[in-house]
Amino acid sequence: MKRRFYYWFLLLAVCLFVQCQQAPETKTAKYVFYFIGDGMGVNHVNGTEMFLAEQEGRIGVKPLNFTQFPVENLMTTYSRYNAITCSSAAGTAMACGEKTRNGILGMDSLHQEPLYSVAVKAKAAGRRVGIMTTVSIDHATPGAFYAHQPDREMYYEIATDMAKTGFDLYAGAGFLEPESTRQPGAPSIYDVLQDSGYVLLRHPQDLAGKSAGTDRVVWLQAEGEVPDALPYQIDRTGGSMTLAQMTANAIDFLGKDGKGFFLMAEGGKIDWAAHNNDAATVFQEVMDFSAAVQEAIDFYHQHPDETLIIVTADHETGGLSLGNGETEIHLKLLENQKASMEVMTAEVLKLRKEKGNRAPWADVQALLKKYMGFWDTVALTPEQEKELRAVYARTFDGSEVELEQSLYSANEPIIAKAVEILDDLAMVSWASGEHSASLVPVYVLGAGSEYFTGKLDNTDLPALISKAAGY
């Protein structure tokens, strides 16, 4: 009898020991935030943190909120046939989990079969879904979550795919092609969406104030604003939509019924500024992106066991390097830049119009002093001033100027040179004005974050999100 009792006691002790050694149960992510900083490489993030530290008068970093997440990783970004991806192929991989050819959106590399995104899985699982961006809603990254088109520049067709998903919220600047250029007589995208039950809102505050009683919303910036993108943070005035505002209102809208949600939010103009090789504007855009992530972090603190936040990028843009051969960098100088290249170009073009392409050097100097701090808070070397004067002499001779093209803007040569000089003084350099094959960062917080460790490729993220959220 004693021997039998001892046997059962030992068995019970072993069972209790094994149970205690088991890992705690992973919580299911009811609320998923998927933040994508377009073009945001490691140095775009690190440079922003170093810039913030220098503003406080010290060497080092002032951490952004998402770089303090417990899981930090790196991710490969190559596409099906190219070492360097485009945004549509990267977006497709990050949304659908399969690599495709550059230029294709939400389809296989032969553009024969549609690929369905993690957002579609979320919707099928009963979650509400929102897709948001600081650029146009028919752009590559947002489009990868809902569209299936063989060419990323088929903007009208991409936008019509929005209506087929049943997603609850789309938000962004507008549409690049609201009327079809390939199908004469086709309805406008606004009619297509309204006929599919979407309510169109056109003011920064409208989602909070006018979405009651409706389940499907397309939220755009005010009429009269350019449809391709929201203003850069560095140019922003009161009344403009912001990604942080969009995120806060989307949380309220998508979370109102308690079903859970999936929200993709893109900081699209990090990439645009990097294509311009404009470090000051890049760092401001990363900070603006971080402000949107903070809205998700605040929500996470209310629902820590049910919320998953992923912050990452689709690719790196520009080959940004922090340092150009010296042992010091001077990022604080970048705070002297008060506007993006777009805004400064517009000011120079206005000056040209007033002066007939023969503005005096003093007028150009005054503009560069106002927006760049040159000859005031930023000291130029004689060689740098000589470079500026050479561009001035070449482009203000009375003839029509040829603007310098980057992927998303056309810039005045004198402005492009001024930004190049300021970046050089700050010890920032660029490899190109295009994408690179660099690894990009991945930061994860919340339910299921433990799945995002180990070597990552962009195609891994949708499956890991689905695993964490139970889709």
Sign of CA dihedral 455, 458, 460, 461: positive
Angle (CA) 218-223-229 rounded to 5° is 70
Q: Which amino acid is at 118?
A: V
Q: Residue 235 above 60 pLDDT?
A: yes
Q: What percent of the chain has pLDDT over 70?
A: 93
Q: Residue 223 above 70 pLDDT?
A: yes
Predicted pLDDT at 202: 87
Rg over alpha carbons for the chain, rounded to the nearest Å, is 25
Q: Residue 128 above 70 pLDDT?
A: yes
Please write the tens of the pLDDT for every residue from 272-283: 999 999 999 999
User: Which residue blocks in 211-311 are alpha helix, DSSP H?
Assistant: 243-254, 269-275, 279-302
28: buried, middle or exposed (CB in 10 Å: 19+, 13-18, 0-12)?
Answer: middle
Predicted pLDDT at 203: 74
CA distances in angstroms from 232 to 236, 377, 434, listed in the order given: 6, 23, 19
Give the domains, in start order, of the chain with CATH numbers.
31-319+433-469 (3.40.720.10), 331-426 (no CATH)
Known binding site for Mg(2+): residues? Answer: 38, 139, 141, 266
Q: Residue 30 above 80 pLDDT?
A: yes
Known binding site for Zn(2+): residues? Answer: 38, 271, 275, 314-315, 435
Contact 372, 339 (CB under 8 A): no
Going by C-alpha positions, the residue among 225, 179, 226 that lies closest to residue 409 is 226
Please write the tens of the pLDDT for every residue from 153-212: 999 999 999 999 999 999 999 999 999 988 888 999 999 999 999 999 987 666 666 666
Could you give the residue numbers annotated as active site? 87
Known binding site: residues? Answer: 38, 139, 141, 266, 271, 275, 314-315, 435
